[in-house]
Amino acid sequence: MLLTVIYIIAITAEAMTGALSAGRRSMDWFGVTLIACVTALGGGSVRDVLLGHYPLTWVKHPEYLVLTCCAALFTIIIAKWMKHLHSIFLLLDALGLIGFTIIGCQIALQMGQGFVVSAVAGVLTGVSGGILRDILCNDVPLVFRRELYASISFVAVIFYWFCIDFGLSLEITVISTLVFGFSLRCIAIYFGLEMPKFIYKDDDDQSASSKDVS
Amino acid sequence: MLLTVIYIIAITAEAMTGALSAGRRSMDWFGVTLIACVTALGGGSVRDVLLGHYPLTWVKHPEYLVLTCCAALFTIIIAKWMKHLHSIFLLLDALGLIGFTIIGCQIALQMGQGFVVSAVAGVLTGVSGGILRDILCNDVPLVFRRELYASISFVAVIFYWFCIDFGLSLEITVISTLVFGFSLRCIAIYFGLEMPKFIYKDDDDQSASSKDVS
Amino acid sequence: MLLTVIYIIAITAEAMTGALSAGRRSMDWFGVTLIACVTALGGGSVRDVLLGHYPLTWVKHPEYLVLTCCAALFTIIIAKWMKHLHSIFLLLDALGLIGFTIIGCQIALQMGQGFVVSAVAGVLTGVSGGILRDILCNDVPLVFRRELYASISFVAVIFYWFCIDFGLSLEITVISTLVFGFSLRCIAIYFGLEMPKFIYKDDDDQSASSKDVS
């Protein structure tokens, strides 16, 4: 129940960030709507296709699809005022990241998967909507370069797993994972924490692979 | 039967546009063939994977796959004369768009889906082949920026739905949707009709996301 | 048994090439790990999703996923010395290409598919991990432009098919296909053999589609 509320908040927030990305690339309204849907529902779809968990969420509940389309069109209307809402968005996005992660993890556990696969399912649900958005907008996915994001999703999975293992009830586990992951993400944003980067230069290959963009 | 003929025309035309896109990026013959297949058969594959509708069309009918490969190689041979065929291609592509849309919509209806999911299935079948082509060629998908395209696919779905709801027989519905959608697309091309674009500038994010291409 | 050993060598080698690609784009450790996993396991996942062959390999054997993550992190540590290992990598990658191809082909045959679909399954398993890696790194897939690669995968499938058709036992078929394909790839690298390229210039379209990168 709590998760459904968080899920609805999360897909709305993600749809709006997708719509803004599409707007930065000057796409038409259809492109904006499609990228909003992919950002909001793509993570769960990737998870369900990879796990063979049919029907997908938006096929079973087309109302979520309608909701993301409305959120996309609403974003076009209120775009002028979006800059002032930047910090609210970061918080909603953080809530969505942890919410998606918990949902993805739970679905894999319900399918009888073990720790590794549920961790992957959780992280994939959390981050792959944003990755698909960046691929469609022809960017290198931001998730690989900005402050702690996917790694927080992964830490939340571990926390969730420990709570379950510790014998806590499902409600307490979900709520404490939400609080824990959300706080961690807020700390990461506030202090600008980043993962260490791996920088590799290899002259001959580099020139070949950057030919298109220079 | 009519739909099968249109489907074969459509995948041939789409395969040829895919091959030309690959040629613009100076790909080798294998890349040309693969991009032709993805452009022609990718839309249906995306739909079938998302709906869990197995086996995919080209797995059940590998002859379609052979046809698209032949179309790709044929395109390499006749590339010199392609410029003069530009308008014929636009018409075949328009026919394909509507044909794909109807087929996608019908498959979702046969699976017992409602309006929202069949509309998505129809539009996805129509446009996602071209989106995959543009992702593989490292372009921002054209479908989000050129004249009315995906939106015509969506309008065709609504028209189709109304015809069915009105009690028209399947043949008449298919034929009238084809005529309606095809005319609409021709009008859009002729007058250069475009959807309104959503242009959003956000200085700090913009600089971050365009770092790769400048 | 032999195939399992080759599969493990292949996913390790592919994971390391994926990690290096991510390093060229200065991604953080999470991005490096994810791209390594996609490169190593993405080919098989694409094949299994398209054929509806569930559960996917890494869902059934999560230990392969752990192995690719370890290979990615190991690559970060030994990156300084990687340049000296360049030729070993090319050989391991060649081995992996043929190993992946044979495995993909066998799985399709076990599912009762005919020649065309098993050939596609074999080639897809061999090359689509690398294609996904290049899409996530925002490159035009290298596989479409460098020396004979995907075509060797295809020739290996034909060779494999002839051996089976000729009545050879499975072990002899696998071993001789491996030797044949591996030699072919080594010859292609040594002599820099390339497929003919298809170069198509179309002034008005070209300017439209290259707008983003210039």
ipTM of the predicted structure?
Answer: 0.85
- What average pLDDT does the structure give for chain A? 86
The phi and psi torsions of B97 (rounded to 5 degrees) equal: -55, -50
Q: Which of C21, C6, C28, C8 is CA-nearest to residue C130?
A: C21
Q: What are A36's two structure tokens?
A: 């909003």
For residue B114, how many other CB atoms are within 10 A of its CB? 11
- For B197, the 3-state DSSP assignment is strand
Among residues of chain A, what percentage have pLDDT more than 70?
93
pLDDT band at A202 (very low <50, low <70, confident <90, very high): low
- What average pLDDT does the structure give for chain B? 86
Among residues of chain B, what percentage have pLDDT more than 70?
93
Q: What are C110's two structure tokens?
A: 């076990």
Poorest-confidence range of A112-116, B113-117, B118-122, B193-197? Answer: B193-197
Mark the ranges of chain C whose per-residue pLDDT is less than 50.
204-214
Residue B202 belongs to some domain of the structure:
yes
**For position C212, what pLDDT does the model report?**
35
List helix spans (H) across chain A: 2-24, 29-51, 57-60, 62-78, 86-110, 115-136, 150-165, 170-191, 203-209
Asked if the Cβ–Cβ distance from C198 to B54 is below 8 Å, we say no
**For position B145, what pLDDT does the model report?**
65
Those chains having 3 or more beta-carbon pairs within 8 angstroms of chain B are A, C
What is the arithmetic mean of pLDDT over A56-61?
Answer: 94
Q: pLDDT digit string (tens) for B11-54?
A: 998 999 899 888 888 888 888 999 999 999 999 999 999 999 99
pLDDT band at B154 (very low <50, low <70, confident <90, very high): very high
Q: Tokens 């080759």 sit at which residue? A: C6
**For position B202, what pLDDT does the model report?**
67
pLDDT band at B146 (very low <50, low <70, confident <90, very high): low
| Burial (Cβ within 10 Å: 0-12, 13-18, ≥19) of residue B195 | buried
Rounded to the nearest angstrom, the minimum Cα separation between C49 and chain A is 7
**For position B205, what pLDDT does the model report?**
46
**For position A145, what pLDDT does the model report?**
65
What is the arithmetic mean of pLDDT over B166-191?
Answer: 91
Q: Check pLDDT > 90 for residue A130.
A: no
Query: What is residue C16's DSSP assignment?
Result: H
**For position A47, what pLDDT does the model report?**
95
pLDDT band at B203 (very low <50, low <70, confident <90, very high): low
Please tell me the distance from the alpha carbon of residue C51 to that of residue C58, in angstroms, as a whole number.
16
Residue B214 belongs to some domain of the structure:
no
Q: pLDDT digit string (tens) for C54-105?
A: 999 999 999 999 999 999 999 999 888 877 777 887 888 888 899 999 999 9
C-alpha A208, offset from chain centre: 32
pLDDT band at A207 (very low <50, low <70, confident <90, very high): very low
CB < 8 Å to A203, chain C: none
**For position C208, what pLDDT does the model report?**
40
What is the chain A residue with the closest CA to B132? A136
Residue C214 belongs to some domain of the structure:
no
Residue A36 belongs to some domain of the structure:
yes
Residue B121 belongs to some domain of the structure:
yes
**For position C203, what pLDDT does the model report?**
55
Residue A63 belongs to some domain of the structure:
yes
Rounded to the nearest angstrom, the minimum Cα separation between C146 and chain A is 10
Q: Which of B137, B134, B16 is CA-nearest to residue B69?
A: B16
**For position A146, what pLDDT does the model report?**
67
Residue A97 belongs to some domain of the structure:
yes
Partner residues linked to B197 by β-bridges: A28
The phi and psi torsions of B192 (rounded to 5 degrees) equal: 60, 35
Tell me how many domains chain C contains.
Answer: 1
What would you report as the CA-atom Rg of chain A, rounded to the nearest whole angstrom?
Answer: 18
For residue A138, how many other CB atoms are within 10 A of its CB? 19
pLDDT band at A176 (very low <50, low <70, confident <90, very high): very high
Q: Check pLDDT > 50 for residue B210.
A: no
Q: Please, which residues 32-51 of chain C have a Cβ atom closer than 8 Å to chain A?
A: 32, 34-35, 45, 49
Is the minimum CB–CB distance between B112 and chain A shorter than 8 Å?
Answer: no
Those chains having 3 or more beta-carbon pairs within 8 angstroms of chain A are B, C
Domain that includes residue C24, residue range: 2-209
What is the chain B residue with the closest CA to A59? B117
Q: Check pLDDT > 90 for residue B138.
A: no
Provide the greatest CA pair distance for chain C: 56
Asked if the Cβ–Cβ distance from C82 to A202 is below 8 Å, we say yes
Is the minimum CB–CB distance between A23 and chain B shorter than 8 Å?
Answer: yes
Query: What is residue C213's DSSP assignment?
Result: T
Q: pLDDT digit string (tens) for A102-119?
A: 999 999 999 999 999 999
**For position A161, what pLDDT does the model report?**
93
Asked if the Cβ–Cβ distance from B131 to A135 is below 8 Å, we say no
**For position B3, what pLDDT does the model report?**
83
Please tell me the distance from the alpha carbon of residue A17 to that of residue A86, in angstroms, as a whole number.
10
**For position C145, what pLDDT does the model report?**
66
Residue A52 belongs to some domain of the structure:
yes
What is the arithmetic mean of pLDDT over A48-73?
Answer: 94
Q: pLDDT digit string (tens) for B78-109?
A: 888 877 777 887 888 888 899 999 999 999 99
Is the minimum CB–CB distance between A208 and chain B shorter than 8 Å?
Answer: no
Poorest-confidence range of B51-60, B171-180, C140-149? Answer: C140-149
Contacts of C19 (CB under 8 A, 6+ apart): A198, C32, C33, C35, C36, C71, C72, C75, C76
